[in-house]
Structure 1
Amino acid sequence: MLRQRHVCGPVRALAIAAVAGLLASAAALPASAQNATPAPAAEVPTGATGAQATPEQLATAVQFLKVSGLTIGFDDIIPQYLQQATAIYAGQRPELSSMINEAAVSLVPEFMKKRNDLDTSLAKFYTTRFSEDELKQLIAFYQSPVGKKLATQQQEILRDSMPVVQGWTRELQDSVMKRVREEVEKKGGKLGPSAADAADDAAADAPANKPAAPAKK
């Protein structure tokens, strides 16, 4: 039986980068794109009315996702999963390796449709926040030279920046715990060490507290 496995490291990194790209897209746009000409008064974004997106608006949002490269990180997930499944099954039945590989290749079109379904689902988040005209303005930006450069570079930038963000959040968390404790102690209160401090202290004390080996007779 095929055991369930978690997403492998590279796939998880790609997925996180892609989602991070979706969240960071507005911040990444230059001021000229962020301050795009507002939609005409007669065309109200669907998010303001709760109206369902038109097929044209949805198609425009999908086009925006494609030209912006915001979801390109998901493109490698399908081949990664197919390779993973192939390796697992081939490991169980080596004599069927050729048949397993052929089956995986034949399934590519089926799963690529699921990839398109993801774009359609994600596009709906944009149709509730941007009018069709606004989406077209965003597309125009990403079709410009600087927009194309941003689309090709943003996933790599996001991947490279993840360790920086993780280090910053760890340092911030430790600093917040420390400073709160210090301010409370200034007022006469007493707080115990944080879990991180306790772990560090335990690690630092471990060698010193280790009982000495009994002397050999």
Structure 2
Amino acid sequence: MQLDIAAALAARFAGVALAAGVLAAVPARAQEPPPFQVAQAATATAPEPSAEQMKLANDLLVANGEASSFDAVIPNVVEQTAASFVQANPDLIRDLREVAKQLSTEYESRRSEIVEILAKIYATEFTTQELKDLLAFYRSEAGKKLVAKREDLLKAGFSSIQAWSALFAREMEGRVREEMKKRGFTI
């Protein structure tokens, strides 16, 4: 069951789930700066991107599917926050769920802040021409196919890597046993 969940998450977030996880984990890691400050610090030394670069970066995030990869961040953070109150207040679970649903809807408009953070990073890291080239690729048939098949590719890759990993683990088990036997131990 856990492997199915991991495969679904890997496929759904297409490699950018890590950033979503960082956003979701912020309350548990209060000693670290909030992700928005991290993103600002990462781009602080770079010149401010032009309006054209920002538009191209936004268009690219839509075209390559990354903008929608963060659709679940706000509802997940709201649900996790509400759920954190359940242990101390188990009788309030129904009300906490209702509040989470209400707040998810209320805060959905803030998803654009996540896309803006990403767009600024892209606009800072890529020149205007590079952004145009990337956008052209993602708007091409090959780019559209990549976006459309990304989930299936990630699922297949995850599944194949799991199978390889299991074989590799067995191989390593044999090698460890062999090396330990050379040292006089049978395990």
TM-score scaled by length of structure 2: 0.55
Aligned residue-pair number: 154
2: CA distance, partners of 1:104 / 1:173: 42
| Residues in 1 aligned to 2:168 and 2:119: alpha-carbon distance in whole angstroms | 34
Does residue 150 of structure 1 match 2:146? yes
Deviations 1:28-82 (A, max 9, x none): xxxxxxxxxxxxxxxxxxxxxx532112311220221122113543323433343
Q: Which residue of 1 aligns with 2:34?
A: none
More displaced stretch, 52-61 vs 95-104: 95-104
Amino acid aligned to 1:106: Q
1:67–1:143 contact (8 Å) kept in structure 2? yes
Q: Which has the higher helix share?
A: 2
Give the aligned residue type for 2:127.
S
Q: What is the match of residue 104 of structure 2? A: 108
- Unaligned 5+ runs, structure 1: 1-7, 23-49, 179-193, 207-217
Distance 2:87 2:52 in 1: 47
Q: Is the 8 A contact 1:21 1:154 kept in 2?
A: no
Give 2:74's match in structure 1, choosing from 66, 75, 78: 78
* Matching residue of 2:16: 19
| Aligned positions of 1:127-138 closer than 5 A | 127-138=123-134
Which of residues 160, 167, 172 is equivalent to 1:164?
160
Report the AA paired with residue 197 of structure 1.
V
Distance 2:13 2:178 in 1: 29
- Unpaired runs of at least 5, structure 2: 20-45
Aligned alpha-carbon RMSD (Å) = 4.5
CA displacement, residues 146-170 of structure 1 (integer Å, 9 cap, x when unaligned): 4333212213312431343466679
Corresponding residue for residue 51 of structure 1: 47
Query: Identity over the aligned pairs, expressed in percent?
Result: 28
Instruction: Evaluate the alpha carbon distance shift between residue 200 and residue 10 of structure 1 in structure 2; reply closer, same or farther with a 3 A threshold.
Output: farther
Distance 2:105 2:51 in 1: 24
Contact kept, 8 Å, 1:70 with 1:151, in 2: the verdict is no
Q: Could you tell me whether the CA contact under 8 Å between 1:18 and 1:73 is conserved in 2?
A: no
